Structure 1
């Protein structure tokens, strides 16, 4: 089949996936599988090769990230019932002070709390952010809503074990330790700069509380819980609650450092394996949970975590289906002839493709996975470091979080914003982060 025909059929497959999700309200999992089937058959792979590519692609992704996603979500579920996130935000407020809390909260969410399912993390942290907002003055709601939106969405795609980051690393065969290291280099300045830019424009007259915020009834103070109440759950120092997760991330990072230094040690290699590291983190978190809230509560937390992880696992797996079919069509060789490795244009192409897909589909994870799958075969042809393609796809997938996003509506309702206000804090705020992120990514392309 000619190169032109393969390019056309690939474009039709991606467009069909978008139309099925947006126009006909298909579940993204079904739409991605149907698009993969169409591409394989229309590209002349035949039924057998198409189905083999789909099943192998799904299996390959699950083999790489299935347990990682499950362990990460389960850790987050137990931490939720330990009230670890609420206590962490309260500690940040005391340490950073009201004026610096938006940056502190967003950076913490983006770099440290990505084991927690996004909607759960948002539902837990939003009421805390709303309570903090009046302490920041006239623009408090705008600043806290923007901080939450940027921290949550950037963390998904740039920070291990965020579900988007895990999928991007798996599709492009990037070691998780490597992705963790370079993702932190990108996400920290991106979050800090983006929030500062949005704060600047808000305080220059762009935020108007009378039209951007909903009228709020006077809240009744919540009754205080006495620490000596026999019905209150036991507590532990905050550092103790997060130690297992922190140790897991340090083990993964240590493995990446050992690889860079070319230091081989079987014990280090075993403990720094991401599956082993997160498994140890889950065991440690459950042990702490059993001591503080009891075995039955921990079991209930794990049950909720397993239910939350099901859709995430399927969605990431079908991203591998599309990538597997694309690899067999030879799209990588075709696109590789149009771009050279000594320019930054390919990275901007990755960003643009992910951005367009996100505007159409409205899902950060789907757009990142689809664009990475489309361009994964190009990496060997171009000679680009795959981690750069993964990060650029993640950055592009952040562009224009809008009305089709569950995060958009949760931020609107939980922070007391109008739709107009949420378009400013969430849609524009995360889009600014999407563009800002390309700065450190392009800088990394010079040295990688």
Structure 2
């Protein structure tokens, strides 16, 4: 029975990752093979399906993920991220430093992976909190909320981008919807959530020796306008295509915007632009710029492999016709496919810890619901993304990153980080359901 095969596969995935601590990539490949064989495939047929899924997923996502990583690394190495942060803080003043920090994290978070964003911004969080005379977590929690929300909801981050490929969703619309949903999620899960804590409970002792950030001088950093435009260029190019599609779909300029609005092209153009704005124009030699490129690519190898393995699992579900079985079951179901997708991703997130694995697995299981129900594939992406960032605990690397950088106990990490990401997830789900009522 197909549904039993899926349940066995998911249970095996949890067993391999949680009990045996097996790498997520290897676990997903093994589970994909097992599910395929359980559904009547020969071992060779199952492996062929896995290979097809790996190749298909990497073929559509490799450029997006690599170019996104390169752009973030160039912004970090040039001081562009620091320029954006310090300028916004000066503009808003000490009384509104929390808002300035959130805006900084939201902008920087578009181009940076969550872990990279933490490394880049945490030193600034400490500096801001000390200068403004406010508790560290008063600034830190909203910054982390913005980073993890952008990471879960907004392309070209690898999670939502990979999930979009599974649902065959439009990247541009996903980006626009993602930003719309991210704004209230960040506000509620960040600044508003901190108001529930007493001032003293937000105080932490800044850890010594945990990081050694490079402090850029005024002359070393690029200008604010340059930094902001470069960081936002992928969003600007992709969003411009969406705007033209809505405003003038039959315009003579449509082919041009089809080209620059393609996520691969938008990120490629942004990276080339960043070579100059964050590199050559700052007096760096091409060798130094290319070193940033090398470092960026080497840092995302495992992320790429996990995403590819998630695509392999999805392909096995398709080739063994489990997807059609699930679609037939859901055809007569009254449960919202958006809610179901969120629920699957949330359960996997709590069990496995990896947001990428949770989102991709949920997407593979729920993908056939798009064709059956006619639901927006872009909203399905965001439902899976929202579920994938829910309650994070000790099996998630993000939990430990947050705990160690803020020097917290496990109990306090759960009260702040774990509850915060759950709020973000629930607000995201609510936003998805509301948007569905508006656009359907």
Same fold (TM over 0.5): yes
Partner of 1:160: 155
Partner of 1:269: 258
Partner of 1:354: 345
Distance in 2 between the 1:11 and 1:21 partners?
15
- Residues 144 and 234 of structure 1: CA distance in aligned 2, closer, same or farther (over 3 Å): closer
Deviation track 1:157-176 (CA, whole Å, cap 9, x = no partner) reads 21121111111111111111
- Residues 50 and 182 of structure 1: CA distance in aligned 2, closer, same or farther (over 3 Å): same
Deviation track 1:181-228 (CA, whole Å, cap 9, x = no partner) reads 11111111111122244123114x8x635xx734768xxxx999776x
Contact 1:33 1:318 in 2 (8 A): yes
The 5-angstrom pairing of residues 206-221 of structure 1 reads 208=201, 213-214=204-205
TM-score norm. by structure 1 comes to 0.89
Partner of 1:404: 395
- Residues 343 and 256 of structure 1: CA distance in aligned 2, closer, same or farther (over 3 Å): farther
- Residues 102 and 55 of structure 1: CA distance in aligned 2, closer, same or farther (over 3 Å): farther
Deviation track 1:54-91 (CA, whole Å, cap 9, x = no partner) reads 12212221122110111110111111110111221112
Partner of 2:173: 178
- Residues 136 and 225 of structure 1: CA distance in aligned 2, closer, same or farther (over 3 Å): closer
Return the match for 1:35 from 31, 34, 38. 31
Distance in 2 between the 1:103 and 1:403 partners?
29
Contact 2:106 2:146 in 1 (8 A): yes
Task: Determine whether 1:144 maps to 2:133.
Answer: no
Task: Tell me by how many angstroms 1:332 deviates.
Answer: 3.2
Return the match for 1:89 from 85, 88, 100. 85
Distance in 2 between the 1:160 and 1:101 partners?
27
Distance in 1 between the 2:246 and 2:109 partners?
26
Partner of 2:125: 129
Partner of 1:251: 237
Partner of 1:281: 270
Question: Where do 5+ consecutive residues of structure 2 fail to align?
Answer: none
The 5-angstrom pairing of residues 24-423 of structure 1 reads 24-134=20-130, 140-203=135-198, 208=201, 213-214=204-205, 234-261=220-247, 262-263=249-250, 265-288=254-277, 289-292=279-282, 293-339=284-330, 345-423=336-414
Give SS of 2:110's match.
Answer: coil
Partner of 1:230: none
Which shows bigger deviation, 156-165 or 243-252?
243-252
Distance in 1 between the 2:359 and 2:164 partners?
11
The alignment covers a number of residue pairs equal to 432
- Residues 60 and 342 of structure 1: CA distance in aligned 2, closer, same or farther (over 3 Å): same
Give SS of 1:60's match.
Answer: helix
Contact 2:109 2:147 in 1 (8 A): no
Give SS of 1:402's match.
Answer: coil
TM-score norm. by structure 2 comes to 0.91
Distance in 2 between the 1:223 and 1:287 partners?
21
Task: Tell me by how many angstroms 1:240 deviates.
Answer: 1.1
Give SS of 2:222's match.
Answer: coil
- Residues 341 and 107 of structure 1: CA distance in aligned 2, closer, same or farther (over 3 Å): farther
Give the CA RMSD over aligned residues: 2.6
